Amino acid sequence: MLKLYLNGVFWFLLCLNYASSLTSDGLSLLSLKSAVDGGDTAFPNWNDDDSTPCQWTGVTCANISGVSGPRVVGLSLAGKNLRGYIPSELGNLVYLRRLNLHGNNFYGSIPDPIFNATSLHSIFLYDNNLTGRLPSSICNPPRLQNVDLSHNLLTGTIQKFLGNCRQLQRLVLAGNKLSGEIPSGIFPELANLVQLDISSNSLNGSVPYDIGQLKSLSGTLNLSFNRFTGKLPESLGDLPLTVSFDLRDNNFTGEIPQTGSFSNQGPTAFLNNPSLCGFPLQKTCRDSNSATPPGTQSVTPTIDDNDSKKGLKPGLIILISVADAFGVALIGLIIVYLYWRKKDSNGCSCTGKRRFGGNQKSKFCSFPCVGGFPNTDSEIESEKGSGVSVSGGGGGGGGEGGELVAIDKGFSFELDELLRASAYVLGKSGLGIVYKVVLGNGIPVAVRRLGEGGEQRYKEFVAEVQAIGRVKHPNVVKLRAYYWAPDEKLLISDFISNGNLASALRGQTSTVLSWSTRLRITKGTARGLAYLHECSPRKFVHGDIKPSNILLDNEHQPYISDFGLNNLISITGNNPSSSGGFMGGALPYLKSTQTEKVNNYRAPEARVSVNRPTQKWDVYSFGVVVLELLTGKSPELSSPTTSTSTELPDLVKWVRKGFEEETPLSDMVDPMLLQEVHAKKEVLTMFHLALACTERDPDIRPRMKTVSESLERIRT
């Protein structure tokens, strides 16, 4: 209380002394400086004798129509390791649109007056130590769209007033101490809600039936790690088909409904609910008709001596038993045979054996060859292109002799359905035009149009596509089908909804690149590359690893795209060039057809055209990507004289020089990572791995298998 009183006195004196010099927005911001421990050190350029705060660190200003002078519209101080409380005076910033204080050590409650900033549309306070209840004034800003208060210490219940946030698009309250039941009547009011994550709390009771009215929801509905009880509301099946459920670790009971969106969920969505049964869980529900009705007595019929004499002879009984045993054994052998045949057809087995004619072996196969493919139906479109048709110039079917072939047998649709579907341009490059196409079942796919030539090379094209289609790994974009005709060739793959790493690094998506996120992306990309090098049917060389070819889903899992396309382009007659990284990916903007910049992710020897691609090219490119993740600096900013020669890019030389001269790590690392002090050892390990990958001599560079194994030893 004494501290609050002294800060109040300080605020009053500040207003008296500087009202004539500093703007009212500046005075409101100074309240934050006084509320933070060591404010003078934390905000060295927040000077109270300035006339405006627009040059202060973390402050964004803009000119408002009808208002004199620039006003504060953004405050971003994320990951600064600030310790203090959030002052209510920030609510005086009436034109504030975005408040971002995540990744600090703010404590105390979220002050109600902060939502007097009526222009607020985004507030990010996650990863702090905030306590208390959800402010009742949270919905005061009429245009509030994004609220992320996750991973704090908030208590209390979810109140009905949240239904007043009618423009809300993202509500993330995960990792708090919220409890109690969710009242009905909230979800029907949130017609614009795209993301809902209330996982890892202590919420209980049944899930309101009206949750099925969240018609704009996409991505993952996350209710996991709570104490919800009762049956799953069938209304969840009314949610869009692209929504993934995460209902793990609750106390749901009864049978899983088999309607609507429920049919698209895998077993992971329902794990650790002991009393839940039915498909897709491997726990069948009891047949209520077979149970003995309560109040009745089970009667065992009596058998008299005459009946016993009419029984089967012992010899016949033995003969029947032997026949039954033989039949069961035969069925078991057939099942085992089919199982191992399927495993071998995928190119890898869990025992580490890989089949190319039946006698080749790779000990490493047991590490990266992970069966199955995660759901990637979740979709958040950042910007739609104009609707276009994906059919060729020859009319329906793309020309005579056209054939649509599904590589994944569980993924089937008709050609007419594909050609009638709504399509949006995602990008264009030397590797073809890419569209996002939403099929009739609501599932989006990415469709790449290749060249129109290559009519005489059909068998070569099919062989190449089939080889790409056999690649099955959770960190590699999956090719689902292809279409061939003389005047049209299409590749249909999974659509990855959260853009690519290049967009995330440049702040063009909502992805926050924390240390754990960067480590997850690095590990997943290494696994995918190691699989392509060691276990894929042809031991692929990607040849163009860079951030734009690393796609991200909503959980920030990486997917390697565009491998094997250069050969397909040469078959179809197009001129291959550096790809835009769009295969299966969503982009926040349309790529122009401007001249491609020199690719500074490529190894020095890769810039000599006579050299054939090798796996060590990929290792080098991966190392440059890791250096960019660590430093936040792009190698594309290299000077023209450097990028056009076989010299190392400026980024690689700069990092090497820094280690040779023992430059402090704090001067080399992305400032966002400096706040994660516990990760210092892991960051240093990553630097050493990246430098090993970017050795000039390719023979010195490690294999991706070794790199991946080293990364796995770094904590998550």
- Rounded CA gap, 351 and 303, in Å? 54
| CA-based nearest residue to 524, from 488, 480, 555 | 555
Q: Is 544 a catalytic site residue?
A: yes
Per annotation, catalytic residue among 25, 544, 618, 650? 544
295: left (phi over 0), alpha (psi -120 to 50) or beta: left
- Rounded CA gap, 632 and 668, in Å? 9
Give me the sheet containing 432-438, strands edge to edge: 403-406, 479-485, 488-494, 444-449, 432-438, 422-429
**H or E segment at 60?**
strand 59-63
The DSSP symbol for 476 reads: B
Angle ∠(459,464,465) on CA atoms, nearest 5: 100
**Do strands 59-63 and 70-76 pair parallel, antiparallel, or not at all (unpaired)?**
antiparallel
Residues 6+ apart with CB under 8 A from 404: 414, 415, 418, 481, 482, 483
- Rounded CA gap, 386 and 273, in Å? 44
- Rounded CA gap, 445 and 592, in Å? 22
- Rounded CA gap, 166 and 130, in Å? 25
Task: Calculate Rg over the CA atoms of the chain.
Answer: 30
User: Is 399 in contact with 487 (CB distance < 8 Å)?
Assistant: yes
Q: Tell me, rounded to whole angstroms, the distance of Cα 471 from its chain centroid.
A: 20
The H-assigned helical ranges of 366-507 are: 415-420, 458-469, 501-505
- Rounded CA gap, 633 and 670, in Å? 8
**Do strands 105-109 and 83-85 pair parallel, antiparallel, or not at all (unpaired)?**
parallel
φ/ψ of 563, rounded to 5, equals -80, 145
- Rounded CA gap, 688 and 666, in Å? 16
Q: How many C-beta atoms lie closer than 10 Å to residue 234's C-beta?
A: 14
- Rounded CA gap, 45 and 561, in Å? 44
User: Is 32 in contact with 80 (CB distance < 8 Å)?
Assistant: no
Residues 6+ apart with CB under 8 A from 177: 153, 154, 155, 201, 202
- Rounded CA gap, 224 and 276, in Å? 14
- Rounded CA gap, 485 and 400, in Å? 7
The tokens describing 297, both together, are 């007595």
The tokens describing 708, both together, are 């991946």
User: Is 635 in contact with 655 (CB distance < 8 Å)?
Assistant: no
Q: How many C-beta atoms lie closer than 10 Å to residue 201's C-beta?
A: 23
Residues 6+ apart with CB under 8 A from 372: 472, 474
**H or E segment at 707?**
helix 704-712
- Rounded CA gap, 75 and 442, in Å? 39
The H-assigned helical ranges of 251-406 are: 305-309, 314-345
- Rounded CA gap, 242 and 221, in Å? 11
Q: What sign results for the dihedral spanned by CA atoms 330, 332, 337, 338?
A: positive
Collapsing DSSP to helix, strand or coil, 449 comes out as strand
Amino acid at 90: L
**Do strands 403-406 and 479-485 pair parallel, antiparallel, or not at all (unpaired)?**
antiparallel
* Catalytic center residues: 544
